[in-house]
Amino acid sequence: MLDFFQDDELDIIKKNMELFYKITEVNCMLIDDTGNTVFSQGEMFNYCTKFMELTGDKSPCCGAHLYASKQSELLGESYIFFCPGGLVHITCAIIIGNVFRGALVAGPIQMNITDPYVIDNLIKVYNIPISARGILQSYYKIIPIIAPEKVRYLANLLSIITKDIVGDQKYELKKKKDFYLEQKIINENIQEIKEENNFTSKAYPIELERELSGKVRRGDLEGAKAILNELLGYILFKHSGNNDKVISFIIELVVVMSRAAVEGGGNFEEIFEQNIKFYKTAFSIHNVEELCVWIVKVLEKFTELAFKLNKDNVENTNVIKKALQYINNNYNKNISLDEVAKHVNLSPTYFSRFFSKETNMKFSEYLNMVRVEESKKYLLDLKYSISDIAVMMGFSDQSYYTKVFKNYENISPGKYRKMYN
């Protein structure tokens, strides 16, 4: 089975497996595309040896390792699982040339405490002689115990060393991970829609488009993604099986986002050129699931164009993104410049100048813009009074809220409410 990996590939794999084992003291093995072990780092535990001996030809270990590795391939990241013997393992698929070549499997370990019922359960499931109970119990107790939070770090480390092995294929793994996550979120939204009463008579949620536009204008990428996935869930459920309609709705969302990017301060010519490219791409993608993942990338581009940051300085960009996300998550509280500065580990004075330079607006201006945008959805709901909304958005009083709202929208909150109700 060594022929399945080239010599240079195997050298890198062995080196990285040794690195993982030396750092973590957790066993690591390389399996091929059939689940068979090619190479191991660390001595096999007596528990595993005895379990495989007792299950014989019916041993489920190889099959379980292969299945978990395929799940890792699907997710595009490491995968934590319980093996048939009741122990925790971590696996990460090795994809070379877009082909599943095998995986690294780390373990076995236990998380937190020993489960006293594991052995009894195995005896029942695999018809293991009761006489083997004592020896299995003794072997099971010496399997290393690792806290769950550390297991997550081990999984991340295994991903890192695997990506070093697969080289450029790590980008394919990331695409698969993004695809899986987007589909998971969309499917959850579809399920929520199914559970709603009177859904068939429910109109297209145009108010969500307005929220999406607002989040694009202010650079709130995470918030915009959540709204977009909610809209996609509605579209896919309402028009399931009608690809032409789905594509038409998605093209409409591209228009909404491009308009928001221009309103947010993006360059019109640049956005117009992007639109042409996006339209051509949209009509060339025939798989609806891929189209949904693609439009998230479109959202990222338009948000970037609407709220331009200096990408030449990655560190500065990350600090601003962290500050923006904190503001967008806490706008309805009495947050201050000092508080946000502390969150990004900068002095208030420096952060104030830094924020203005990177975003072309003062901290208070951005905070007020977020509060105004978020208040719009509550203005559409008549059960909230304008004074209630002012307090909910973090403004000191209704008068100040009205003044700020008119400054951004050129109309009062009351007129905005009448316009859309």
- Can you tell me the distance from the alpha carbon of 413 to that of 405, in angstroms, rounded to the nearest whole number? 6
User: Which of these, 151, 164, 168, 163, lies nearest to 77 by C-alpha position?
Assistant: 163
pLDDT of residue 168: 46
**Around Cβ 232, how many Cβ atoms within 10 Å?**
26
pLDDT of residue 400: 92
User: Which of these, 166, 151, 156, lies nearest to 13 by C-alpha position?
Assistant: 166
pLDDT of residue 185: 57
pLDDT of residue 370: 92
- Can you tell me the distance from the alpha carbon of 117 to that of 149, in angstroms, rounded to the nearest whole number? 23
pLDDT of residue 222: 85
Quick check: 356 and 362 in contact, CB under 8 A? Answer: yes
- Can you tell me the distance from the alpha carbon of 176 to that of 288, in angstroms, rounded to the nearest whole number? 15
What is the pairing mode between strands 145-146 and 99-111? parallel
- Can you tell me the distance from the alpha carbon of 55 to that of 70, in angstroms, rounded to the nearest whole number? 23
- Can you tell me the distance from the alpha carbon of 404 to that of 397, in angstroms, rounded to the nearest whole number? 11
Quick check: 400 and 362 in contact, CB under 8 A? Answer: no
344 φ, ψ to 5°? -105, 10
Quick check: 94 and 66 in contact, CB under 8 A? Answer: no
Whole-angstrom CA distances from 52 to 47, 232, 244, 291 are 9, 47, 54, 46
Q: Per the structure block, which two tokens stand in for 211?
A: 């929220």
- Can you tell me the distance from the alpha carbon of 256 to that of 227, in angstroms, rounded to the nearest whole number? 13
Which segments of the chain have a pLDDT < 70? 1-6, 8, 97, 113-114, 166-202, 309-315
- Can you tell me the distance from the alpha carbon of 365 to that of 357, in angstroms, rounded to the nearest whole number? 13
Following DSSP, what letter does each residue of 249-269 receive, concatenated?
HHHHHHHHHHHHHHHTT--HH
**Around Cβ 81, how many Cβ atoms within 10 Å?**
18
pLDDT of residue 2: 43
- Can you tell me the distance from the alpha carbon of 86 to that of 45, in angstroms, rounded to the nearest whole number? 14
Instruction: Please classify residue 268 by burial: count the beta carbons closer than 10 Å to its beta carbon, then call 0-12 exposed, 13-18 middle and 19+ buried.
Output: exposed
pLDDT of residue 13: 87
The length of the chain in residues reads 421
pLDDT in tens, 327-353: 999 998 889 999 999 998 889 999 999
- Can you tell me the distance from the alpha carbon of 381 to that of 400, in angstroms, rounded to the nearest whole number? 21
The alpha-carbon radius of gyration of the chain (Å, integer) is 27
Preceding omega of 108 cis (within 30 degrees of 0): yes
Burial letters for 20-55: b for 16+ Cβ neighbours within 10 Å, e otherwise?
Answer: bbeebebbbbbbbbebebbbebbeebebbebbbebb
pLDDT of residue 181: 58
pLDDT of residue 289: 77
147 φ, ψ to 5°? -65, 145
Quick check: 48 and 108 in contact, CB under 8 A? Answer: yes
- Can you tell me the distance from the alpha carbon of 68 to that of 308, in angstroms, rounded to the nearest whole number? 41
Whole-angstrom CA distances from 188 to 86, 199, 293, 300 are 30, 16, 15, 21
- Can you tell me the distance from the alpha carbon of 226 to that of 230, in angstroms, rounded to the nearest whole number? 6
* The model's pTM: 0.52
